[in-house]
Amino acid sequence: MKILVLPGDGIGPEITAATVTVMRAASQRFDLGLTFAEELVGHASLKRHGTTVRPELQQAAQDADGIVLGPTATLDFQDPLRGEINPSAFFRRRLDLFANIRPARTYRGVSGPVGEFDLVVVRENTEGFYADRNVESGSSEMLITHDVVVSLRRITRLCCERIARAAFELARRRRRHVTIVHKANVMKLGDGMFNEECRKVAKEFPEIAVDDVIVDAMMAHVVRKPQRFDVIVTSNMYGDILSDLTAELSGSLGLGGSLNAGSRYAMAQAAHGSAPDIAGRDIANPFSLILSAALLLDWLGRTKDNRACEAAAAAIEAAVDAAIGAGDVTPDVGGKLGTRATGDKLAARLVAA
């Protein structure tokens, strides 16, 4: 299986290198036959090719079995006409990666503020309050006058239905509880449609408990008692905010994995940004991208009926758990290792297990 590797900006190349080291170890132990092809995106690509994402990368992504995307300097890329394309949005749109799967859980050895929990945010990824995902070309955020901006949100039944189905299928493999998060008391049409479609899908999964919570109340609930939640399904902007919150509640945003998945393609992507202030210092936590790679392997295992990939994903997650418990981690979660050493130790632990 071929993995397209896109290191990105800031700390991206460092944590991506550690992630590839771990994936190679998993491939060795479970005989996965993984190969890796690396391409530039972000500032390095802009400098060399005049664009952050070359058009031919779409074909490279479609030819690969999976993608690993390191963090990119999204805020720096403002003008697509000057080659400043958001790499994450590019692949999410072009490959129709409609489901953003964002697990958040606590780990032994990392103190969190709210006790132990284990949940997953399933976030719709292709529409909602994102100006680059609502119209065929251009932006859905418009400067009407110097003092007036209008932002449009698109909600469709198709996207609501398929993200709901992804959430319920995931819940079937977990603790069989789905929470729908919305703001239908105010956004009566858009969020009303989202809630309605989720409830329709729920009827196909009678074994799964379902409830729904208004998004502002949800922020209070996950801070007060995240243990009550299993799988949370929500629209794009709500999910983006909620998943960062739940990852931080686990002890560090650096422990939050993230998978962008569609019907045919999937892309592992760290839950955090490119952190240019610590780039090149060998202190960045690589676990977010490593856990994202584990999610990618699990997706490959399920979509290709490859039990070895599923076993490799579980082994990576177990190795991360053990590494955190042993303190073989970066300083942000209480350890003393650098980025590279953290990846190397995790790979060695994986092979030796």
For residue range 23-62, list pLDDT tens digits in order.
Answer: 999 999 999 999 999 999 999 999 999 999 999 999 999 9
178-224 pLDDT per residue, tens = 999 999 999 999 999 999 999 999 999 999 999 999 999 999 999 99
Q: At 124, phi and psi to the nearest 5?
A: -65, 140
Q: Domains in the chain: how many in total?
A: 2
Rounded to whole angstroms, how far apart are CA atoms 33 and 2? 8
Six-digit token string for 89 = 């949005």
Q: Are residues 94 and 176 in the same domain?
A: no
Residues 30 and 150 in one domain: no
User: In this structure, are 227 and 139 located in the same domain?
Assistant: yes
Q: Are residues 88 and 185 in the same domain?
A: no
Tell me, yes or no, whether 122 and 195 share the same domain. yes
Question: Rounded CA gap, 295 and 308, in Å?
Answer: 14
Domain boundary among 249, 279, 309: 249
Residue 304 lies in a domain: yes
Range of the domain at 269: 1-98+264-353
pLDDT in tens, 77-94: 988 889 999 999 899 989
161 and 216 housed in the same domain: yes
The CA distance from 340 to 170, in Å, is: 33
Which of 249, 284, 305 is where one domain is finished? 249
Residue 254 lies in a domain: no
The CATH number covering residue 351 comes to 3.40.718.10
- List the one residue out of 243, 295, 242, 274 whose CA is nearest residue 70: 274
Q: How far is CA 141 from CA 80, 129, 132, 174, 239, in A?
A: 15, 9, 8, 38, 20
Tokens of 146: 């110097």
Both 127 and 54 in a single domain?
no
pTM: 0.93
H or E element that contains 229: none
| 61 and 88 co-located in one domain | yes
Residues 144 and 83 both lie in one domain: no
Question: Does 21 have pLDDT greater than 90?
Answer: yes
User: Is residue 146 domain-resident?
Assistant: yes
Task: Give the three-state DSSP class for 154.
Answer: strand
Give the end-to-end CA distance of the chain in Å, rounded to a whole number: 23
Confidence of residue 133 (pLDDT cuts 50, 70, 90): low
**Mean pLDDT in the chain?**
94
> Is the domain of 245 the same as that of 188?
yes
Are residues 245 and 269 both part of a single domain? no
- Looking at the chain, which runs of residues are DSSP E strands? 2-6, 35-38, 66-69, 99-105, 118-124, 141-145, 148-151, 177-182, 209-214, 231-234, 259-261, 266-269
Q: Are residues 187 and 219 in the same domain?
A: yes
